Structure 1
Amino acid sequence: MGNPKETEKQIMVDRSVQQYLFPFLLREDKIESFGNRLLSDGFVFFDLSDGKQQNMFYGKDQVSHRSLERYFMPNIESILFPNSPEDEAGIRRFSKKVDKECSLQAPCLNTTFILESVDVFVCPFHIGFINLRITLPEDLTYDDVLYFGDLFRVMERISEDEELTVVGCGEKKYLKVKDYIFNELVPSIEEYADNQSQFKESYFGSLPFFVDERMYVISYINYRGEALSETDLYRAGKLNGYGPDGERFVGATNQEYIAKYCEDKVYDRWSDLTYYVMSEYHFSCITRETGKIERKLASQMYGEHYYSIFLLLYYKIVLLKLSHDYAKVDVIKDQFSTELLIVMITEFSSKYYFPAINSTESGTEISGHLKQVFRLEKIYDDVKDTLKTLYQNQEKLTDKRVNYLLQILTGYMVISGIFGMNLVIEDWKGQIQWSAMAGYSIFEWFSFFVIISGIVVTLLLSTFFLKNLLKEYRNRKKKIY
């Protein structure tokens, strides 16, 4: 690894916009009221049938709702674009136009930026997302844009050697990006997050299964000049802007390594005018197109590509959550949680996870690249193996419980049949002869006890079964939606 001081000419950017996505867990008892709270806070439910929203949240750009709707497969549309804010089975988006100038101060960059809008997603399986849309000024360089993205995605400094940044909004200054988001933009979210302490100590406190404690960045960069080199594309994937010495940072010296990285992470169908670079924490469209094509590319980064990235990232979060839940559940002792986990995995696999999310050739190819980057197929196969293991364990445990229950009931039936029908049952016909019980022999008392205890056990088992059935019915919907 290195930090070579390159003498190449600076790449000037005509315009750049960035979006920042991060997930969190929602409280079960607060999900239904969360949407109403967002609406009362000035957010608008995103509805494809509302044509006014096509240019409401994207600054100077706009998104064609018709193109967005037709881009995805029919079975995906109902999930991504529900018709009502009350549709718990869909991914509900609430958006708010902000259009406010803020600033970022860092060791290698002092700049303003426009916060265009904020999205809050309420998704099944208790997953929530927040998305920020930011327009950067036109006088930045390619290095500046990468540096800005690398800094702003950090919710809170983890180590002391990370660069200190200050985000300004009006007269307020924030030393942590998470404070800027949770205090300035979406202050009500603490009340609805699964673990309220996550926003005070560690933002990902309730997502212990999420690896990277930083926001996912989606960038659109329109630049002028010559075609980008492999090194420039590599830096985009890694968000390498400036190093500690203030010089252009690459992060690798082996050109073969850089070439291999670009082969895996760069979609170059329209090179050398347009490249899509995809990494574990950054998706970027880098182009030098102009005119209508340039505007279309920018629109796609807010529309078609944005939703494709979001959906695949959502898949990854849910799959990691299911794997984490499996690691916590006690298969032997906690039968209810085991059955619930089986239902959740089955529901996600059958209703939400689809191998193909759109029918266009380029869209399918880009989604395929993203799946490889996110390692979705590997994680999904692990979850399917988990489901198979759960079924096998559950079947064995159920067979054991059924055998034990049958042995107990068989014992009651045999004993009550031998003794009860022949010894005391006659005393219970018509009006019960309580006085006859005083003369019962030890066998008759034993028979009487077996019959009464059998009735009590049957009633208790029936009550327990009905109680669990109602509880399971209520909690299945609650745990998923």
Structure 2
Amino acid sequence: MDMGNGINDQTKHSFQQFVFPFMLEGDRIEGFIKRLLKDEYVFMKMDDLDLQDEFYGEHKVSHRNLEQYFMPNLVPVLFPNSYKQKEGMRRFSKKLNLSCTFQSPFLNTGFIINSIDITICPFHIGMINIRVTLPEKLPYNDVLYFTDTFRVLEPIMDDELEMKIGFRNKEYRYVKDFIFKELVPPAEKFINDEEDQPSYFGSLPFFVDERMFAISYIALPEERDITKVDLFRISQLNGYDNDGEPFVGALNRRYINRFYQERVYDRWGEETFYVTSDRHFACVTRATGKLEAQLASEMYGQHFYSILLYFFYKIVLLKLAHEHSRIDVEKDQSDTELLIFMITEFSAKYLFAEVNSTSTGKELFKITKDVFKIEPLYLEVKETLSYLFQIQDKLSGKRSNYLLQILTIYTVISGIFGMNLHIEDLKEKLTFNDYMNYTFSEWVAVLVTISGLIISFVLGVFFLKRWLQEQKSRKKKVV
């Protein structure tokens, strides 16, 4: 099967972004932000034009174009004006320009880590984004192999276990260790790592596996043909097989053609293609000059934020479905009500049918939306919401009936015994001896009256306390 021009098929240049999602401890988020600012991370503000070329190597991102690329109702979510706006996706970036080495059985190369982002999202979700630039004229197969291997946080396969990252006379066999010991050492302290899910670092047991999502820009020589096999390989990150030979993860041409129809955006084919999978979003181009620079800028800007937003959608929807599976709706009333609130809040404030304002953006990221299965996941969560409402309505009705029956009994008894037998006594001061002369029915009336007052007071305090706790808990669970 045609795989381009073989192992020496060189790229002009390429860069990658690696996105790692995790859960944050809710009550430590603001402390984490203070730590980031102390460690010289910069909060990303769109009105600060000095940041347009600060974090992207030799490239520049137009903030004005970036804001106009999205629907107006999404701008406050994607680009909050202050790091104190908890309902937005607060991005903190740091310029690094670190020279590192990558050593493995099939590839030894240097690479540059240009910068790193930490984005604090609603629903206690955090995302680390690492920007990497590979050497110029690196073979196409090497680019795919590097991207596929570097995104593995904890290696499993034999060739992954032999991989090493070199930095400042240190070597790391796990990319996770490299990230949390060298790039963002404070982050691990703030990550919510549940004890009941030790195999899932970052407490995302509902989310795929321990691999980062990759975003790639690959510029090829102008004379290089871009085939369907090329695009399939880059979508699946098929670099080398176990013998170090160029690898294609499918042999059936019809399968590759179907994949091309579903996952490839070829509005500008034969020159530029965009391809999406559940592990990789890539732009492969033969463009030159200003157009090439524009395409690279868009991968750092408009396309990156679009991917980030849909990635956020997918994680939240999976999180909500996971939360539903963990609660007993008949016993965990407060958790059920909180889940209803979270689903409603997400649907109303964050999930929008239209994201991009341009026709190109709508067409391109419809593919991403389909690949990430946003619509089926949302329908599942929507059905969950309807089910929870029905259950809550039934349980609330039962609880109200029980409470009403208790209060009715107290009202009837206190009315019979209290009003009919003791209304006159309440107007006078009674001594202890007077009370000792009460009949059995009169003592029943006294006890019913006193216990009724106590129960009413206790219920009032309980419901007020619970209401205040729910209001606080709801807010903390979302932001």
Give the match for residue 358 of structure 1.
356
The residue aligned with 1:218 is 215
Q: Normalization by structure 1: what TM-score? A: 0.97
Match of 1:460 in 2: 458
| Distance apart, 1:159 and its partner CA | 4.4
Shift of 1:170: 1.5
2 CA distance for matches of 1:396 and 1:198? 32
**1:12 counterpart SS class:** coil
Structure 2 match to 1:315: 313
Secondary structure of 2:47's aligned partner = coil
Aligned pairs for 1:70-469 (under 5 A) are 70-160=68-158, 162-195=160-193, 202=199, 204-224=201-221, 225-469=223-467
Which moves more between the two structures, 262-271 or 8-17? 8-17
Call closer, same or farther: CA 1:48–1:347 in 2, change over 3 Å: same
Shift of 1:367: 1.3
The TM-score, its normalising length taken from structure 2, stands at 0.97
Q: Is the 8 A contact 1:427 1:433 kept in 2?
A: no
SS of aligned partner of 2:240:
coil
Q: Distance in 1 between matches of 2:297 and 2:453?
A: 70
Structure 1 residue 113: Cα displacement: 0.4
Distance 1:110 1:144, change over 3 A: same
Structure 1 residue 475: Cα displacement = 1.0
- Which of 14, 17, 30 is equivalent to 1:16? 14
Which stretch has the larger CA shift, 154-163 or 361-370? 154-163
- Distance (whole Å) between structure 1 residues aligned to residue 295 and residue 159 of structure 2: 37
Moved more, 4-13 or 372-381: 4-13
Q: 1:220 to 1:6 in 2, by over 3 A?
A: closer
CA contact (8 A) 2:19 2:127 kept: yes
Is the 8 Å Cα contact of residues 238 and 279 (structure 1) preserved in structure 2?
yes
Q: What does residue 33 of structure 1 align with?
A: 31
Deviation at 1:432, TM superposition (A): 4.2
Higher deviation after alignment, 367-376 or 7-16: 7-16
- Residues 3 and 229, structure 2, Cα contact 8 Å, conserved in 1: no
Alignment deviations for residues 41-67 of structure 1 (CA, whole Å, 9 cap, x no partner): 111001111111000000000100010
Change (3 A) 1:32 1:412: same
Shift of 1:262: 1.1
Cα gap change, 1:480 to 1:8, in 2 (>3 Å): same
Does the C-alpha gap of structure 1 residues 120 and 207 become closer, same or farther in structure 2, counting only changes over 3 Å?
same
- Report the secondary structure of 1:269's partner residue: strand
Cα distance in 2 between the residues matched to 1:8 and 1:141: 10
Deviation of residue 8 (structure 1)? 3.6
Report if aligned partners of 2:329, 2:391 keep a CA contact under 8 Å in 1: yes
SS at match of 1:178: helix
Deviation at 1:160, TM superposition (A): 4.6
Secondary structure (helix, strand or coil) at the match of 1:16 reads strand
Secondary structure at the aligned position of 1:187 is classed as coil
Measured in 2, the distance between the counterparts of 1:208 and 1:318 equals 13
Aligned pair count reads 477
Distance in 1, Cα, partners of 2:158 & 2:436:
85
- Are the equivalent residues in 2 in contact too, given 1:190–1:196 (CA < 8 A)? no
Aligned partner of residue 339 in structure 1, secondary structure: helix
What do residues 304-348 of structure 1 show as CA deviations (whole Å, max 9, x unaligned)?
000000000000000000100010111111111111110000000
CA RMSD of superposed structures (Å) = 1.6
**Residues in 2 aligned to 1:44 and 1:317: alpha-carbon distance in whole angstroms:** 25
The aligned amino acid for 1:303 is: G
Instruction: Give the match's secondary structure for 2:12.
Output: strand
AA of the residue aligned to 1:311:
L
Equivalent position of 2:49 in the other structure: 51
**Alignment partners' CA distance in 1, 2:468 and 2:94:** 39
Cα distance in 1 for residues equivalent to 2:471 and 2:428: 42
Residues 1:405 and 1:34: Cα distance change in structure 2 (over 3 Å):
same
What amino acid maps onto 1:258 in structure 2?
I
Looking at structure 2, the residues matched to 347 and 222 of structure 1 have their Cα atoms a distance apart, in angstroms, of 41
Note closer, same or farther for the CA distance 1:479–1:7 as it changes in structure 2 (3 Å cut): closer
Q: Report the CA distance shift for 1:161/1:133 in structure 2 as closer, same or farther (over 3 A).
A: closer
Query: Would you say the 8 A contact 2:104–2:159 is kept in 1?
Result: no
Mapped partners of 1:143, 1:337: distance in 2 = 49
Q: In structure 1, how many angstroms separate the alpha carbons of the residues matched to 2:370 and 2:3? A: 32
Deviation (angstroms), 1:229: 1.1
CA spacing shift, 1:357–1:7, aligned 2, 3 Å: closer
In structure 1, runs of 5+ residues without a counterpart are none
Counterpart AA for 1:27: E
Query: Greater CA deviation, 224-233 or 332-341?
Result: 224-233
- Aligned-partner SS, 2:45: coil
CA distance in 2, matches of 1:162, 1:14: 26
| Structure 2 portions without partners, runs of 5+ | none
Give distance in 2, aligned partners of 1:204 and 1:255. Answer: 38
After superposition, give the CA deviation of every residue in 1:86-119 in whole Å (9 maximum; x if it has no partner): 1111110000000111010011110000100000
- Give the secondary structure class of the aligned counterpart of 2:67: helix
With over 3 angstroms needed to count, the CA separation of the structure-2 counterparts of 1:419 and 1:22, relative to structure 1, is same
Structure 1 contact 155–203 (Cα < 8 Å) conserved: no
- 401 and 296 in structure 1: CA distance in 2 versus 1, 3 angstrom threshold: same
Distance 2:31 2:478 in 1: 16
- SS of the aligned residue for 1:410 comes to helix
The one-letter code matched in structure 1 to 2:204 is: L
SS state at 2:166 partner: strand
